[in-house]
Amino acid sequence: MKRFVPTRVFFEPAALEYPLGKQLEDKFKTLGITIHYTSSHNRVTGIPGKTKKEKYIQAKRSLVVGVRRTLKFSSCRPSAHYQLPLATSCPGLCEYCYLQTTLGPQPINRVYVNLEEILAQAERYIRERAPQITKFEGAAVSDPVPVEYLTGSLKRTIEFFALQEYGRFRFVTKFADIDSLLTADHRSHTEIRFSLNTERIIKQYEKGTESAANRIKAAQKVAQAGYPLGLLIAPIIVYPEWMQEYARLIQDLKTALPVGLQPKFELITHRFTARAKRNIAEVFPESDLPMDEAERQFKYGQFGYGKYVYPKKTFDQIKLFLIEQISRHFPGSEVTYIV
């Protein structure tokens, strides 16, 4: 199991006014990790590296401990009503990751120590919409699991939502360090999702993340702990043996998960923007990620910019094949999302 241990940590002075900030400072001093202090978690300098790739990798190995001052939560349609800002970025080195575009060339990992203020704001949003259910996504701009062993924020958040009659929480991860969450009082108000892919895709394009086998084992534990379980297969990439290997992935899930379980599935095919392609070429110049525009169809997205997606014929083939596989192995499971 992989565990994120930062090479260097930056503290915003205000973070040390919170108990969690002080605990983290003491912990990193004990571990002998280099500590720096910065005026703001949004203004970090001193990340080493001569090339964009080196700086990118070093940013992924860095952690900033700060205070989340903006408590107006962003929208998170269609999966939830709001983003819940527990952390930012992820230590994984996925070549296709959209955070390369949204977070810039140095996507430093950030955690926020004013968790109670963040949860208080979530409660205000819940009250505003009651008696309607309000959903919050905890992984819109991060993977919160790699830093959980440091902060405990996910477990605290899960137990907060257990007490919310009209609030629900969800997050997705590519990591497996979830044992601390198994004893949380969740009352089925938190859905834990795992982002999965074939071992070939993980080894080629998702470096620094867990193997498919470890993610499936973690999903098994989550299901046994009674959490609602979601399975995100993404990005689905077409290559010579794609059908056999995605079929094997779904079969492995069937073998591991409790008999009769009906997890929710989300299916997302690989797509890219022109900007993302440029960023990937700078950070991963040796990448062979399939991004030939001539083999794709250009499509305008909901946010007003265009992306290159698989042609309709290929997309329909992917959709038909994977839905058939899911229906065979998980009869009754819902495919909530396919793009």
Contact 93, 146 (CB under 8 A): no
What was the pLDDT predicted at 300?
A: 85
SS3 319: helix
What was the pLDDT predicted at 99?
A: 77
What was the pLDDT predicted at 176?
A: 98
What was the pLDDT predicted at 333?
A: 97
Is the peptide bond prior to 235 cis by the omega test (within 30 degrees of 0)? yes
Contact 15, 28 (CB under 8 A): no
What was the pLDDT predicted at 1?
A: 78
Give which of 269, 267, 265, 268 is closest to 311, Cα–Cα. Answer: 269
The pTM score is 0.95
pLDDT in tens, 115-173: 999 999 999 999 999 999 999 999 999 999 999 999 999 999 999 999 999 999 999 99
Helices 212-224 & 242-256 angle (0-180, nearest 10): 30
What was the pLDDT predicted at 305?
A: 75
Unique residue bearing structure tokens 């609030």: 167
What was the pLDDT predicted at 195?
A: 98
Q: What is the DSSP pairing of strand 134-137 with strand 8-11?
A: unpaired
- Within 10 Å of residue 301's Cβ, how many Cβ atoms? 12
- Residue 230 CB burial class (10 angstroms; 0-12, 13-18, ≥19): buried
Contact 148, 181 (CB under 8 A): yes
Domains observed in the chain: 1-227 (3.40.50.12110)
- Mean pLDDT of each 10-residue bin along the chain, 339 residues long: 93 97 97 92 83 92 96 93 97 89 82 98 98 98 97 98 98 98 98 98 97 98 98 98 98 97 97 91 93 94 80 98 98 95
SS3 61: coil
